[in-house]
């Protein structure tokens, strides 16, 4: 697609200038606020007819994500969930889906409460356990769904091995690449069929828009997904498409900086006596780290850590100053969240705790603040939480 062999940092910013821009030389893509397009011939229509089916601004974004993920066809949706739900519409009644048990909460909700209404079955499985996957594959299994590293404990799935298993059983693989982005991980290169993104997170990067993206390598599969995108209609609007294109331009430098800071923060937390456990693929003992290094080029900007209990987590959140306390991740500002009542609130307590999501667990998405300021802030909040938890201390 790019005959100059440019590195990803370069590709994030530049694009093939289309005919329209050649006329004005505009550096940025125009926002084509037009729902419909005049057809100059009675018999032959131009490249665009109606903006649900295609819009020049959205098309630049869709070509961009296809190029970055090294696929052939990209699709922009109104949210990550719109992209994920639309991809599942590739299935039919009677099909079965195999899903990682620590899948994103919204995907969990869609699979368990919506897909079931259409007679599509599912099984949750520990994707780090290849035997368990093999055992769970049925004759009607059509999709194996992965997320790696997963949320919030950053568990690692061996992408190539799962792809091999799925190909041997004639099913497709979907992978939610939100945490890594194409800057760090290219699942299509490892044989995955559909890559999905909540572009609300790192790709846009500024906690301002909701957006979803999907990419396929196989052209025929891409045609089918394009048909669904146009039929279901959950497309990304043009202003948000423009904003996402702008966000993607700085993805490389943002993710590099945030990941470097996340590594330093993980090291710091790992040495803190009040922190019971730290989950970050960049820590030498993190389970699956070797697999992650084989399939990705960085460890990412999200980490989780465990304090003794709910009271300790509460005291920590009440005393920390810099990160916002909120759901979501992948932004310029650091975002601290509490999975028990936020992302995993819908999950029964035993299910949650079995997945390591105890009442003391906090998740941090590291932003672009100076890492020394962040560590100093975490340090004072930990000290206060520790004093409240252990008054003698
Ligand atoms: C946020 C998120 C989603 C859902 O995306 P929305 O843009 O909120 O619809 C899906 N997967 C992961 C891993 C996410 O973090």
| C-alpha of residue 81 to centroid of ligand 1, in Å | 6
The CA-based dihedral angle spanning residues 385, 390, 391, 393, taken in that order and rounded to the nearest 10 degrees: -90
- Cα–Cα distance for residue pair 215/72, rounded to 1 Å: 7
Q: CA dist 195 to 122, 186, 270, Å?
A: 19, 9, 32
Q: Tell me, yes or no, if 108 is annotated catalytic.
A: no
What is the DSSP secondary-structure string of 215-276? EESSHHHHHHHHHHHHHH--BPPHHHHHHHHHHHHTHHHHHHHHHHHHHHHHHHHHT-TT--
Omega within 30 of 0 (cis) for the link into 149: yes
| C-alpha of residue 163 to centroid of ligand 1, in Å | 23
Q: Tell me, yes or no, if 23 is annotated catalytic.
A: no
Omega within 30 of 0 (cis) for the link into 361: no
Q: Tell me, yes or no, if 242 is annotated catalytic.
A: no
Cα–Cα nearest to 143, from 69, 198, 88:
88
- Cα–Cα distance for residue pair 203/271, rounded to 1 Å: 31
Cα–Cα nearest to 210, from 177, 244, 250:
244
Type and span of the H or E element at 317: helix 310-319
- Cα–Cα distance for residue pair 245/58, rounded to 1 Å: 9
pLDDT value at residue 335: 98
- Indicate which residue of 95, 158, 176, 193 is catalytic: 176
* Protein residue with least CA distance to atom 7, ligand 1: 80
This prediction's pTM: 0.95
- Cα–Cα distance for residue pair 302/151, rounded to 1 Å: 9
- Cα–Cα distance for residue pair 312/386, rounded to 1 Å: 7
* Under-50 pLDDT residues of the chain: 1
- Cα–Cα distance for residue pair 78/244, rounded to 1 Å: 11
234 CB under 6 A from ligand 1?
Answer: no
Dig out the tokens for 96 from the structure.
Answer: 């079965």
Q: Is 146 helix (H, G, I), strand (E, B) or coil?
A: strand
- What domains are defined for the chain? 14-249 (3.40.640.10), 251-389 (3.90.1150.10)
Q: In what order do the strands lie in the sheet with 212-216?
A: 73-77, 212-216, 194-198, 172-176, 141-147, 96-100, 121-125
pLDDT value at residue 344: 85
Dig out the tokens for 51 from the structure.
Answer: 């903006």
79 CB under 6 A from ligand 1?
Answer: yes
Q: Tell me, yes or no, if 176 is annotated catalytic.
A: yes
Bridge partner list, 76: 213
358 CB under 6 A from ligand 1?
Answer: no
pLDDT value at residue 19: 54
Give 105: exposed, middle or buried? Use CB within 10 Å, 0-12, 13-18, 19+. Answer: middle
pLDDT value at residue 393: 67
- DSSP code, position 375: H
- Cα–Cα distance for residue pair 127/280, rounded to 1 Å: 18
Q: Kindly give the number of the ligand 1 atom that is closest to the alpha carbon of 106.
A: 4
What is the tens place of the pLDDT at every residue in 289-334? 999 999 999 999 999 999 999 999 999 999 999 999 999 999 999 9
pLDDT value at residue 343: 85
pLDDT value at residue 171: 96
Token pair 């979803």: residue: 212
pLDDT value at residue 1: 47
């Amino acid at each position: 697609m790019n005959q100059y062999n440019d590195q990803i940092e370069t590709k994030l910013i530049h694009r093939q200038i289309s005919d329209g821009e050649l006329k004005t030389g505009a550096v940025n893509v125009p926002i084509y606020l037009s729902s419909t397009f005049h057809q100059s011939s009675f018999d032959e229509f131009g490249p665009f007819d109606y903006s649900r089916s295609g819009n020049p601004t959205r098309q630049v974004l869709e070509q961009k994500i296809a190029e970055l993920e090294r696929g052939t066809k990209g699709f922009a949706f109104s949210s990550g969930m719109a992209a994920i739900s639309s991809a599942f519409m590739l299935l039919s009644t009677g099909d079965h889906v195999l899903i990682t048990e620590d899948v994103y909460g919204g995907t969990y909700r869609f699979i368990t409460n919506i897909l079931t209404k259409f007679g599509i079955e599912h099984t949750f499985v520990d994707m780090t356990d290849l035997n368990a996957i093999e055992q769970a594959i049925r004759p009607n299994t059509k999709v194996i769904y992965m997320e790696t590293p997963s949320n919030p404990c950053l568990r690692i799935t061996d992408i190539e091995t799962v792809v091999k298993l799925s190909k041997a059983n004639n099913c497709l693989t979907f992978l939610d690449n939100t945490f890594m982005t194409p800057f760090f991980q290219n699942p299509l290169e490892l044989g995955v069929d559909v890559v999905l993104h909540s572009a609300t997170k790192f790709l846009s990067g500024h906690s301002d828009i909701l957006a979803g993206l999907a990419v396929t390598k196989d052209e025929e599969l891409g045609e089918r997904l394009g048909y669904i995108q146009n039929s279901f209609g959950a497309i990304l609007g043009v202003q948000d498409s423009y904003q996402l294109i702008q966000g993607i331009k700085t993805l490389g430098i943002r993710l590099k900086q945030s990941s470097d800071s996340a590594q330093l923060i993980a090291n710091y937390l790992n040495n803190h006596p009040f922190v019971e456990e730290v989950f970050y693929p960049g820590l030498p003992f993190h389970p699956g780290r070797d697999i992650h290094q084989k399939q990705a080029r960085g460890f990412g900007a999200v980490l989780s850590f465990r304090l003794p209990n709910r009271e300790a987590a509460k005291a920590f959140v009440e005393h920390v100053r810099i990160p916002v306390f909120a759901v979501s991740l992948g932004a310029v500002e650091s975002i601290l969240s509490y999975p028990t009542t936020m992302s995993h609130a819908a999950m029964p307590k035993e299910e949650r705790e079995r997945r390591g999501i105890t009442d003391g667990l906090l998740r941090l998405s590291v932003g672009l603040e100076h890492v020394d300021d962040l560590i100093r802030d975490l340090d004072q909040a930990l000290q206060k939480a520790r004093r409240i938890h252990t008054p003698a201390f």
